C-alpha cells in the first residue's frame, strides 16, 4: 500500500507518519497486516481516552463493512444501535456506528450494507440529530443506491398518530433509490425490545451472511470505544434512590397537580449534567392491578414464568407490564378473544383505533369488551413496562447529590374511575423516604454552552420549565457574563407559575436577566409563549446574533409553534427570507445553538 493510497483515506495522521506507515505496511503480508491492525487497536484501547467518531473512511472499505446509523431523541434508538454494533463486532463483522448527523452523506452512494435505527417524534418528525440525513435522502441530491442492501428499525409510540412514520419513510425511500431491502421494516413501540430483539437477530444473521462472503480482503476496522457500561446497565439495573421531597407546586385551584420531586443520589454513583433526563421505573397502581385481576377473574398470587422470570401475576402486572398504555398489538390480541363486532370494526379503522388507544388504557379495553385471558397469555401479550424519562430540574452545582424533577400528574376520570399516568401517579404517591429505581439518561444534545459568557434563551412552558431550573442554577454557580432569558407559560398566573418564588429570587439576584410570561386562561385572549417570542422578536434576533443559544422544552405542539414563531420573527426582524430563516435555524441546530427537548 502506498502513502498515496493511505492519504486517500484521509487518516488522522501527519504527512510524515503517513509516509512511515506506508513504508512499514509495504513489507507485510496479510497475516502481518492483520496482526499490526489488532496491535494498534489494542494500544488505542489501553489508552482509554475518548476516540472521536470517525467521519472519514477509506472509500474502498465502505463496501466491505456494515454501517449502523441511528437517529435518536430520547436515547432508545441509540441504545439499540449500540447493541447491534456490539453484536456485529462480537461476531467479527466489521462495523461502524454513527449518529445520523455525524454521517458523511457523500459516502451513502458507496454503502453496501446499511442498518438504520430511527425514532419518530411527535407528529411524525425525525429526531433532531437525523433531520439533515432525512432531508438529504428525500431531496434531489439523493444518489442511486443500486448496490445497497439495507434494513430499517423504526421506533415510536403508538399513541401518536404518525407511529414510526420516519422509519417507514426511510425504508420506502431507500428502496425507491434502488436499495435492496434485506427484510421488512420493523416498528417498535415503547416496549421496544419486543420488536427490536427479533429484528436484531435477523440483522446480525444477514450481516454475517453478507460480509463473511466479502471479508477475504483486509480492511481498516474502525475503532469504537464501547459506551460506558454503567450507562446502559443502569437502565436495566436502576439505582435505588431515596425520595427526599414530594411537594405540590401548582396552586390549590390549578387544574393540574404538578409535583416537585427531590431525590437523593447519594451512594448511587449517578451523576448528571443539566439537560439530562432521569429515568424512573414506575410500579403500576395497586388498585389498578386489582381491578384488572378482578375484571379478568385471574388469581394474582399465581406464579408465572415468562422469559427469564418467575413471578406472581400481581407482581408481573405491577412491576413488569404496561397497564396504562395500549398498543395496537394488544388490542388485536384482545379482539381475537373478545369476539366483538364493535371492537373488530374499531380495529379495522386505523385512524379510529389510534384515537382510541391514545384515550384509553388496558382496563378500559377489558371492561368494555370482556374476553377470557389466561394469566400466561396475558403476561405474554402485555407490553413490557418501560421506564419514563423526566428532564432533570436541577444542577448538581447547586443541589449536590440530589436530582429534582418537575412532574405533572396525568390523571383523568373515566366513568367515575380514575385513570392515571403510570409514572406520574407512582411518583406523586411516594412518601418521603421511599426508594425508587432510577437511572440517568444523558442528553448530549441539550447542553448549556461550554462558554458561560454566552447568552441563553430558554423557552419552557408548563413542566417544560424543568431543565431551565437546572440551567439557571448551573449558570448562577458558574458565574459567567452570559445573560439568561426565560420564557414561561401556563394556564393561570396564580396557580400555575411553577417555581415562581425561585424565579423572582433569580431575577433579584441577577441570575435571570429576563422573564417573559404567558398565561392562557387568565381571561381575555389566550396568550402562549410563542406570542411573547413574537412580541420580543427584535430582542430575540439581537440575542441570537450575539451568539445566544436557544432551548425549547415541552410539548411537541408547542415546539412546532415556537419554531414557526422563530421563522416569523427572523423574517420580520433579521431580514431573512423564509428559506433563509429555515437555513439559519438549521444552522443553529447543527451548531448546537438551537436544542429542543420535546415530548
Partner 1 sequence: MSAIEQLKRDSQRLRGSLRESLADPVTGALAEPDTVLLKFHGSYQQDDRDLRDERRRSKLEPAYQFMIRTRTPGGVVSAGQWLKLDAIARTFGNGTLRLTTRQAFQFHGVIKRELKTTLQALNAALIDSVAACGDVNRNVLVAANPLLPAVHAKVQQQAVALSEQFLPRSRAYYEIWLDAEKLADSGSEDEPLYGPAYLPRKFKIAFAVPPINDVDVFAHDLGFTAIIEGGTLRGYNVSVGGGMGASHGDPETYPRLADVIGFVEPAQVQALAEAVLTCQRDWGNRVLRKRARLKYTIDDRGLDVFAAEVQRRAGFALAPARPVVFAHSGDRFGWVEGEHGAGNLTLRLRAGRIADQPGAMHLSGLRAIAVLHPGSFRLTPNQNLIVAQVPAALRARIDALVAEHGLDRYRRDSALAVRAMACVALPTCSLAMAEAERYLPEFSAALEQVLARHGLLDAPILLRISGCPNGCSRPYLGEIALIGKGPGRYNLHLAADALGQRLNRLYRENLDQAGILAALDPLLARYAGERESGEGFGDFLLRAGVMQSSQTAADIEATHEPT
Q: Which chain residues interact with partner 1 by CB under 8 A?
A: 247-252, 260, 493-495, 497-504, 507, 515-517, 522
Q: Which is nearer to partner 1, 466 or 595 (CB)?
A: 466
Rounded to a whole number of angstroms, the minimum distance from the CB of residue 242 to partner 1 is: 20
Rounded to a whole number of angstroms, the minimum distance from the CB of residue 404 to partner 1 is: 11
Q: Which is nearer to partner 1, 55 or 504 (CB)?
A: 504
Q: Which is nearer to partner 1, 47 or 501 (CB)?
A: 501
Q: Which cell numbers in the block locate residue 375?
A: 394469566
Q: Which is nearer to partner 1, 81 or 490 (CB)?
A: 490
First to last CA, the chain: 51
Q: Which is nearer to partner 1, 365 or 465 (CB)?
A: 465
DSSP string, 374-419: -HHHHHHHSPBP--EEEEB---HHHHSSEEEEEEEPPEEEETTEEE
DSSP string, 197-248: HHHHHHHHHHHHHHHHHHTTS-------PPPPHHHHHHHHSPEEEEEEEEEE
Rounded to a whole number of angstroms, the minimum distance from the CB of residue 540 to partner 1 is: 18
Rounded to a whole number of angstroms, the minimum distance from the CB of residue 152 to partner 1 is: 46
Rounded to a whole number of angstroms, the minimum distance from the CB of residue 260 to partner 1 is: 7
Rounded to a whole number of angstroms, the minimum distance from the CB of residue 421 to partner 1 is: 21
Q: Which residues pair with 117 in a beta bridge?
A: 70, 153
- Beta carbons of 96 and 128 less than 8 angstroms apart: no
Rounded to a whole number of angstroms, the minimum distance from the CB of residue 543 to partner 1 is: 19
> How far from 236 is each of 53, 76, 121, 279, 421, CA to CA, in Å?
26, 12, 23, 11, 21
Rounded to a whole number of angstroms, the minimum distance from the CB of residue 280 to partner 1 is: 21
Q: Which is nearer to partner 1, 47 or 252 (CB)?
A: 252
Q: Which residues pair with 68 in a beta bridge?
A: 97, 115
Question: Over 455-472, what HEC string results?
Answer: CEEEECCHHHHHHHHHHH
Q: Which is nearer to partner 1, 251 or 449 (CB)?
A: 251
Q: Which is nearer to partner 1, 456 or 490 (CB)?
A: 490
Q: Which is nearer to partner 1, 281 or 519 (CB)?
A: 519
Residue 224 and residue 230: Cα distance in Å, rounded? Answer: 17
Residue 201, classified by CB atoms within 10 Å of its CB into exposed (0-12), middle (13-18) or buried (19+), is: exposed
- Residue 173, CA atoms < 13 Å, CB-side half-sphere: 18
Q: Which is nearer to partner 1, 360 or 491 (CB)?
A: 491
- Beta carbons of 278 and 263 less than 8 angstroms apart: yes
Q: Which is nearer to partner 1, 310 or 504 (CB)?
A: 504
Q: Which cell numbers in the block locate residue 458?
A: 430558554
Residue 157 and residue 78: Cα distance in Å, rounded? Answer: 16
Q: Which cell numbers in the block locate residue 152?
A: 430499517
Smallest Cα–Cα separation from 595: which of 256, 273, 260?
273
Residue 367 and residue 451: Cα distance in Å, rounded? Answer: 56
Smallest Cα–Cα separation from 466: which of 481, 482, 486?
486
Rounded to a whole number of angstroms, the minimum distance from the CB of residue 469 to partner 1 is: 10
> How far from 108 is each of 59, 66, 68, 141, 179, CA to CA, in Å?
11, 12, 12, 11, 11
Rounded to a whole number of angstroms, the minimum distance from the CB of residue 500 to partner 1 is: 5
Q: Which cell numbers in the block locate residue 126?
A: 425525525
Q: Which is nearer to partner 1, 154 or 462 (CB)?
A: 462
Q: Return the SS3 of 193.
A: helix
Rounded to a whole number of angstroms, the minimum distance from the CB of residue 411 to partner 1 is: 18
Rounded to a whole number of angstroms, the minimum distance from the CB of residue 48 to partner 1 is: 43
Smallest Cα–Cα separation from 137: which of 172, 188, 164?
172
Which letter does DSSP use for residue 125 in this model?
B
Amino acid at each position: 500500500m502506498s502513502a498515496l493510497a493511505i492519504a486517500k483515506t484521509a487518516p488522522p495522521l501527519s504527512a510524515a507518519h503517513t509516509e512511515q506507515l506506508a513504508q512499514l505496511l509495504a513489507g507485510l503480508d496479510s497475516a502481518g497486516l492483520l496482526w499490526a491492525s489488532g496491535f494498534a487497536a489494542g494500544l488505542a484501547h489501553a489508552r482509554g481516552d475518548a476516540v472521536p467518531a470517525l467521519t472519514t473512511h477509506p472509500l474502498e472499505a465502505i463496501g466491505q463493512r456494515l454501517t449502523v446509523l441511528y437517529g435518536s431523541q430520547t436515547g432508545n434508538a441509540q441504545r439499540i444501535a449500540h447493541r447491534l454494533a456490539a453484536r456485529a463486532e462480537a461476531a467479527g463483522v466489521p462495523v461502524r456506528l454513527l449518529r445520523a448527523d455525524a454521517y458523511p452523506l457523500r459516502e451513502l452512494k458507496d454503502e453496501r450494507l446499511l442498518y438504520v435505527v430511527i425514532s419518530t417524534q411527535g407528529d411524525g418528525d425525525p429526531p433532531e440529530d437525523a433531520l439533515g440525513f432525512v432531508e438529504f435522502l428525500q431531496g434531489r441530491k439523493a444518489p442511486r443506491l443500486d448496490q445497497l442492501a439495507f434494513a430499517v428499525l423504526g421506533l415510536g409510540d403508538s399513541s401518536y398518530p404518525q407511529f414510526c412514520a420516519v422509519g417507514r419513510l426511510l425504508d420506502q425511500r431507500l428502496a425507491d433509490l434502488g436499495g435492496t431491502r434485506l427484510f421488512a421494516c420493523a416498528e417498535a413501540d415503547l416496549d421496544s425490545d419486543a420488536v427490536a430483539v427479533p429484528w436484531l437477530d435477523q440483522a446480525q444473521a444477514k450481516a454475517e451472511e453478507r460480509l463473511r462472503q466479502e471479508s477475504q480482503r483486509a480492511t481498516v476496522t474502525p475503532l469504537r470505544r464501547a459506551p460506558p457500561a454503567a450507562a446502559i446497565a443502569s437502565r436495566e439495573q436502576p439505582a435505588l434512590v431515596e425520595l427526599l421531597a414530594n411537594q405540590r407546586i401548582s396552586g390549590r385551584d390549578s387544574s393540574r397537580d404538578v409535583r416537585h420531586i427531590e431525590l437523593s443520589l447519594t451512594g448511587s454513583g449517578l451523576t448528571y449534567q443539566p439537560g439530562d433526563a432521569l429515568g424512573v421505573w414506575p410500579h403500576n397502581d395497586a388498585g389498578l392491578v386489582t381491578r384488572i385481576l378482578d375484571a379478568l377473574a385471574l388469581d394474582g398470587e399465581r406464579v408465572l414464568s415468562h422469559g427469564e422470570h418467575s413471578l406472581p401475576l400481581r407482581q408481573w402486572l405491577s412491576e413488569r407490564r404496561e397497564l396504562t398504555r395500549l398498543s395496537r398489538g394488544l388490542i388485536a390480541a384482545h379482539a381475537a378473544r373478545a369476539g366483538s363486532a364493535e371492537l373488530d370494526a374499531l380495529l379495522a379503522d386505523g385512524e379510529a383505533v389510534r384515537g382510541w388507544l391514545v384515550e384509553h388504557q388496558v382496563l378500559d379495553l377489558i371492561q368494555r369488551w370482556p374476553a377470557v385471558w389466561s394469566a400466561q397469555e396475558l403476561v405474554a401479550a402485555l407490553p413490557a413496562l418501560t421506564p419514563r424519562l423526566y428532564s432533570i430540574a436541577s444542577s448538581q452545582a447547586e443541589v449536590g447529590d440530589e436530582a429534582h424533577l418537575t412532574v405533572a400528574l396525568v390523571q383523568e376520570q373515566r366513568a367515575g374511575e380514575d385513570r392515571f399516568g403510570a409514572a406520574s401517579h407512582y411518583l406523586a404517591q411516594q412518601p418521603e423516604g421511599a426508594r425508587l429505581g432510577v437511572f440517568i439518561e444523558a442528553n448530549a444534545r441539550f447542553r448549556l454552552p461550554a462558554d458561560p459568557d454566552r447568552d441563553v434563551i430558554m423557552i419552557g412552558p408548563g413542566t417544560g420549565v424543568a431543565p431551565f431550573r437546572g440551567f439557571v442554577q448551573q449558570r448562577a454557580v458558574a458565574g459567567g457574563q452570559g445573560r439568561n432569558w426565560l420564557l414561561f407559560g401556563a394556564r393561570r398566573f396564580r396557580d400555575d407559575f411553577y417555581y415562581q418564588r425561585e424565579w423572582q429570587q433569580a431575577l433579584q439576584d441577577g441570575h435571570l436577566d429576563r422573564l417573559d410570561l404567558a398565561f392562557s386562561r387568565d381571561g381575555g385572549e389566550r396568550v402562549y409563549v410563542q406570542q411573547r417570542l413574537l412580541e420580543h422578536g427584535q430582542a430575540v434576533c439581537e440575542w441570537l446574533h450575539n451568539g445566544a443559544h436557544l432551548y425549547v422544552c415541552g410539548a411537541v405542539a408547542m415546539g412546532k409553534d415556537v419554531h414557526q414563531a422563530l421563522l416569523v420573527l427572523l423574517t420580520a426582524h433579521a431580514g431573512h427570507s423564509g428559506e433563509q430563516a429555515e437555513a439559519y435555524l438549521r444552522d443553529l441546530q447543527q451548531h448546537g445553538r438551537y436544542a429542543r427537548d420535546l415530548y
